[in-house]
Amino acid sequence: MSKSFEVQGVVHSIGETTEYGQNGFTKREFVLKLTGEGENSDYPNYIALELIKDKCALMDQYQIGDEISTQFNLNGRLWTGNDRPEKCFTSLQAWRIESLSSGSGGGQEPPPGDYSQIPPDFDDDIPF
């Protein structure tokens, strides 16, 4: 089980929900410009997070420019294939989003399920 973390930031971009493979696995990415304690606006940090499965809908109520707080799990896995060198992929899987902007977003989600494992039959030869 992975450890949970929390960040806050302004929504920079929101991707569409994408379906992978034949088993209906879905993923949606979004990018935050981090704000809050310890952030220097002269050197902004942008991070990409992802939502998977039923959590993809969490971003439906937010727009670019909204300030949000996000709880996420840090996950990683190794990938090898087609005689290529081994690669390590790291993902930040969001599972709760709260609005910090007035008048938009809102609502809290229940605690997450265990989304740390990608379905065993998910392999479309794409390393991400």
**Three-state secondary structure along 38-98?**
CCCCCCCCEEEEEEEHHHHHHHHHCCCCCEEEEEEEEEEEEECCCCCCCEEEEEEEEEEEE
Give the pLDDT score at 113: 52
User: pLDDT of 51-91, one tens digit each?
Assistant: 999 999 999 999 999 999 999 999 999 999 888 899 999 99
Mean pLDDT on 91-110: 73
Structural domains for the chain: 4-99 (2.40.50.140)
Q: Which two tokens stand for residue 5?
A: 């973390």
Looking at the whole model, is its pTM more than 0.85? no
Average pLDDT value over all residues in the chain: 84
